[in-house]
């Protein structure tokens, strides 16, 4: 009964390809996120969705297109992959936004390690 799950765990692909990463949470949360962790372990927010609506896009290139079919799922599609996209991508979820959700814990998935060759 994993709280936040991601598939696949590893993804190795060639430059220029298109790939997707799926995320699901069974916690009943209304907010989901994508974070990118680079090789130096720096974690950076990419997107945030609340009730299936995009709330935050942290100046991510438009080759990255998140999609939330329902509150429990947030997928990430990446077009025309580049070498610099190699990283670990984490999905997370929490309940509430702004002042109502500030104290609510974010639960992270196990990560997807993307390697672009």
Partner 1 sequence: GENVEQHPSTLSVQEGDSAVIKCTYSDSASNYFPWYKQELGKGPQLIIDIRSNVGEKKDQRIAVTLNKTAKHFSLHITETQPEDSAVYFCAPRRGSTLGRLYFGRGTQLTVWP
Q: Which residues bind partner 1 (CB under 8 A)?
A: 4, 31, 33, 35, 40-45, 48, 50, 55-56, 58, 90, 92, 94, 96-99, 101-103, 105-106, 108-111
Residue written as tokens 């984490």?
Answer: 90
**Residue 67 CB, nearest approach to partner 1 (Å):** 19
Q: Looking at beta carbons only, is 50 or 68 nearer to partner 1?
A: 50
What per-residue string of b and e applies to 11-22 under the rule 16 or more CB within 10 Å gives b?
bebeeeeebebb
Nearer to partner 1, 69 or 103 (CB): 103
Nearest approach, Cβ of residue 84 and partner 1 (Å): 19
| DSSP-H helix ranges across the chain | 98-101
């Amino acid at each position: 009964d994993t709280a936040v799950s991601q598939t696949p765990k590893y993804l190795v692909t060639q430059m220029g390809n298109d790939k997707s990463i799926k995320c699901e949470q069974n916690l009943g949360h209304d907010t989901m996120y994508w974070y990118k962790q680079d090789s130096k372990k720096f974690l950076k927010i990419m997107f945030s969705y609340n009730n299936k609506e995009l709330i935050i896009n942290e100046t991510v290139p438009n080759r990255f297109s998140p999609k939330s079919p329902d509150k429990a799922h947030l997928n990430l599609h990446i077009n025309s992959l580049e070498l610099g996209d190699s990283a670990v991508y984490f999905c997370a979820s929490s309940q509430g936004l702004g002042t109502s959700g500030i104290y609510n814990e974010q639960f992270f998935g196990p990560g997807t390690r993307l390697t672009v060759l």
